[in-house]
Amino acid sequence: MSRLDSAIRRLQAQRACLDWAVGEIAGQPGPVLELGLGNGRSYDHLRARLPGREIFVFERKVAAHPDCVPDDQHLLLGDFNDSLPGALARIGARAVFAHCDIGSGDAVLTAALAAFVGPALAPLLAPGAVVAADQALDIPGCREVALPADVGLGRYHLYRNSSH
């Protein structure tokens, strides 16, 4: 599989997981979290699919297309290590969905980030909340959920908060 093939499959998997989550949270009030804005593609997808829903974005340094940057109130700038721990006070409610697109070209850094994000994310999630992630995460209180049929195993990851 070429890197072009792989990129297409990855984006299709991401979209399938985002769309699955959008369906899961229909009718459930609560904000959505986007960890990693990147170029803003998945943020743009979520705001298009979730009109009126508050989406809070965590990003170290914004490099997205200017059209895909949230307003200051919904942008938590800085390292996840700094921005995640105190985020609940800022957001004001636990999230019904979190999307984590945190992988980079650096495998060691990505693994360290994933190891931090799992536990740090847990207190921000409402009971029954769903999580979609590009990395396997160990989120206390969450169990892994089966991927949509058209997403290859390991290409994306879904979780549901089963704690109360």
| Interacting residue ranges for a second copy, rule: CB under 8 A | 2-5, 7-8, 11-12, 14-15, 18, 39-42, 44-45, 48-49, 65, 68, 105
| Dihedral pair phi/psi, residue 68, rounded to 5° | -115, 30
Q: What is the maximal distance between C-alpha atoms in the chain?
A: 45
Two tokens, residue 150: 């058209």
CB of 7 to a second copy, least distance (A): 6
Look-up: residue for tokens 């704690």?
163
Measured from the CB of residue 4, what is the shortest distance to a second copy in angstroms? 4
Nearer to a second copy, 19 or 54 (CB): 19
The span from the CA of 111 to the CA of 117, in Å, is 10
In angstroms, what is the minimal distance from the CB of 12 to a second copy?
Answer: 6
- Nearest CA among 82, 45, 40 for reference residue 60: 82
Q: Which of 150/164 has CB closer to a second copy?
A: 150
Identify which of residues 99 and 125 has a Cβ nearer to a second copy in the complex.
Answer: 99
